[in-house]
Structure 1
Amino acid sequence: MQYERFGGPEVLQEVEVADPVAGPAETVVEVEAAGVNFGDIKEIAGELREGPHAAKGPLPRIPGMEVAGRTGDGRRVVGYLRQGGYAAKAVVAERDLAVLPQEVSAGAALALLVQGLTAYHLLRSVARVRPGESVVVHSGAGGTGGLAVQLAREFGAGRVIATASTDEKRAFVLGLGADAAIEGTAEGYREQVLEANHGRPVDIILDAVGGPLLDVALDSLGLLGRLVTYGASSRQAAAAVSPGRLAVASSALAGFWLTPLITRDGAGGRALEELLGLTARGRLRPLAGGEYDMAQATRAHADLLGRRTKGKLVLLP
C-alpha cells in the first residue's frame, strides 16, 4: 500500500512494486503482519515532512513502521523500520529485529514495538515511576494506554487510574488492572481525578490527547508530579505553559517520542526483550485489536481516526 500525494486515509492505494533489496546489516522479512500506528496517519497527511525525523525520500512512499514475519534464514522476528511496512516484504536493519518466542503471536509482538516500547519508556525512562505512586493513563483502552496501565501495575504503582470515552472501554481498562476508570474529559477533569485518587492529587499523568486536556491535567498533579506528553490525538493546540506555573507546584512537564530513541539505540535490546518475556509468561497482555487485509488499510486508518477501535490494529498481506 503506497501513497502518491499527502492527505487522509483515502490516498492509500494498492500497487505492485519490485521486491525490496537488503543493504549492509539489513534483512528482508517476509511479512506475516504489519502494525498500524497514529504515526502512519501523520506521515501520509504530510505532517512529518520536515525536521530530523521526517519520512525520507520522494513520493510515492510505502508507510508502515513495524512488521512481524520470517527472515530468509528461518527466524521468526518482529522489527521496527522507518517506512515500508505496508507490504508483503520489508527490509529491516538487524539491530531493529528481535526473535519472537513461540508463545507470542504476531499481533501481540507488534503491539510491543512502537506502543509497548513507548509505554515502557514513558514509565521507566521519563516519568521514572516509583513504587506506590499514583499514575493516570489517558486513553487507557488504546494500544499504548492499555500497555501503560498494565506496566504501571507491573512496575509497582500504588494506584492506576485510566481514562476512556465509553462505559464499555472503562470496563475494559478495569479488566486490565486499573483501579479506577473515568471519562477524562477536560471539563471537570480535576474533580474526576481527585475523586478517583481518594481526594489526593496524582504523581504521574501520561497524555497522548493534548489540547485543553493537557492544560487542565497539569492542575491535577501533586508535589513533584510529572506529566509526560507523547501525542496530540485531539489535534488541538495546548495552552502555553509558563515555567512559573510548574515551579509553584514543583511539577514537571516532559515530552517523549520513541523515534529518536530508536534512531540512536535501535529497537532491539533489553526493553523489548523484557516486554516479550513478560508477554510469554502471561504477565503482560498486549491488546489485540482489529485485523484487516492489507488492501483495507484505508478503512483501518479511518477506524483509528474515528476512535472506533481498541488495542493494536494489524494489516495482513
Structure 2
Amino acid sequence: MKAAAFYAPGPPEALRLVELRRPEPAPGELRVRVRAAGVQPVDLAIREGRMPPAVDASPLVPGNEFAGVVDELGPWVTGFAVGDEVLGFRVLGCYAEYVVVPADQVVRRPAGLPWEIAGGLSGAGQTAHTAVEVLRLTAGDTVLIHAAAGAVGTVAVQLARLAGATVIGTASPANHDYLRSLGAVPVSYGSGLVDRVRAVAPGGVDASLDAAGADGLRAAVELVGDRDRIATIVAFELAAQLGVRWLRSQRSAARLAALVDLYVRGRLRVQLRHAYPLERAADAHRDVGTGHGRGKVVLTPQPV
C-alpha cells in the first residue's frame, strides 16, 4: 500500500510517499481502506521532532483520524461487516491507503456526512468536546476561545454555545464574520487583546481554551480567575509554568458518535479548508503550519 511517511524528523519535505506492507487485522481489529485522513498540529510536532511519537517505527506514518470502508475483519469482531462505511481514530498510521484499528474505535458513517468531513472530525471534534466537558462550561459562562476559526476552535465555539455559554473568539479580521455566523463575539489577535476582551465581556471571563499558543495563554491567565478553567492544546511547556491545564483529548467511540449525531441533526458545522491527495502530504503540513486559515485540512488516499 502507499503511505506518506518520514524516516527522520525534519521540515515538511521529510514526508514522502512510500510503499509499505498492507497491515493485517489482529483479533478485535478491523482493516479500513482509507478515504480521508485528517491532518492535525500534533502530526507536525511529531514530524518536526518536537514531540516523541507513541511508536518506534522507521518510516513513521503520521495521522490519528480517518474515514473509510471496512475491507477485512479480524477474529472476534462483531457488529461490523466488510463494506461498512466508518470513521474513527487510532495512534498514528492514518496517512495511508489502509489502517487497522480496534473495532471499539470506529463508528458508522451516515450518508449525510461527507467523506472529507468524516476523516477530519475525530481529532478536532473530540478535542473540542473534551474541552467543553473539562472546563465545565454551562449556561451563563463566558468563555474565551483562541484560534476560534481553526479546526478545534470552530467545533469548540459551537459546542460551547450549545452548552449555553457566551463565546468570545480570537481570530484575524478576515474571519470575524465567520465567527459571528457560529454565534461567537470576535476579537482580533495582537497587542491590546486583554483590553479588547474586557471591553466585550464587562462581566468577566469564566474559562478559556487556547489553540493558538503562548500569547493567547498569557492573556487567558490575566482574564480568568480560576486557572483550573484554563486549558491549552498547544503551549504545553508554558501551561506547566503557569499552572493551567494541558488538554489531552479523551477519545472514545461514544464521544465521536455524539459529534456525528450533532452534525447529522444540523447542530454542528465543520469547515473543510482543503483536501490534498496523499502525495501532497508535505503541502498539507505547510498549510496547517501557517497557523492561519479556516477549518480542517485532510488527505485523501483514495478518491472520494
Q: TM-score, normalised by structure 1?
A: 0.86
Going from structure 1 to structure 2, the CA distance change for 1:218 and 1:308 (only over 3 Å counts) comes to closer
Partner of 2:282: 298
Deviation at 1:168, TM superposition (A): 1.5
2:66·2:120 contact (CA, 8 Å) conserved in 1? Answer: no
Partner of 2:168: 161
Partner of 1:210: 213
Partner of 2:83: 74
For structure 1, the 5+ residue unaligned runs are 243-252
1:118 aligns with 2:124: no
For structure 2, the 5+ residue unaligned runs are 72-81
Going from structure 1 to structure 2, the CA distance change for 1:297 and 1:68 (only over 3 Å counts) comes to same
1:111·1:287 contact (CA, 8 Å) conserved in 2? Answer: no
Distance in structure 2 (CA, Å) of the matches to 1:300 and 1:111: 13
2:146·2:216 contact (CA, 8 Å) conserved in 1? Answer: no
1:255 aligns with 2:255: no
Identity of aligned residues (%): 33
1:181 aligns with 2:186: yes
1:289·1:312 contact (CA, 8 Å) conserved in 2? Answer: yes
3-state secondary structure, aligned to 1:130: coil
Partner of 2:38: 35
1:29·1:69 contact (CA, 8 Å) conserved in 2? Answer: yes
Which of 93, 96, 99 is residue 87 of structure 1 equivalent to?
96
Q: Where does structure 1 differ by over 6 angstroms across 4 or more consecutive aligned residues? A: none
Which of 99, 105, 109 is residue 100 of structure 1 equivalent to?
109
Distance in structure 1 (CA, Å) of the matches to 2:26 and 2:186: 48
Amino acid aligned to 1:137: I
Q: TM-score, normalised by structure 2?
A: 0.89
Distance in structure 1 (CA, Å) of the matches to 2:136 and 2:238: 26
- Matched pairs, number: 288
- Please give the per-residue CA displacement for 1:118-160, whole angstroms capped at 9, x wherever unaligned: 1011011x10111111111110110000000111111111x21
Q: How does 1:169-248 map to 2 (within 5 A)?
A: 169-178=175-184, 180-185=185-190, 187-197=191-201, 199-222=202-225, 226-232=229-235, 237=238, 240-241=241-242
Distance in structure 2 (CA, Å) of the matches to 1:308 and 1:137: 15
Amino acid aligned to 2:187: I
Going from structure 1 to structure 2, the CA distance change for 1:114 and 1:181 (only over 3 Å counts) comes to same
Going from structure 1 to structure 2, the CA distance change for 1:5 and 1:257 (only over 3 Å counts) comes to same
Partner of 2:262: 278
1:290·1:309 contact (CA, 8 Å) conserved in 2? Answer: no
Amino acid aligned to 2:247: F
3-state secondary structure, aligned to 1:31: strand
Deviation at 1:225, TM superposition (A): 7.5
1:139 aligns with 2:140: no
Deviation at 1:239, TM superposition (A): 8.8
- Please give the per-residue CA displacement for 1:108-127, whole angstroms capped at 9, x wherever unaligned: 22332011111011011x10
Amino acid aligned to 2:178: F
- Please give the per-residue CA displacement for 1:188-226, whole angstroms capped at 9, x wherever unaligned: 1221111121x2211111112232331232111257882
3-state secondary structure, aligned to 2:229: strand
Deviation at 1:18, TM superposition (A): 1.7
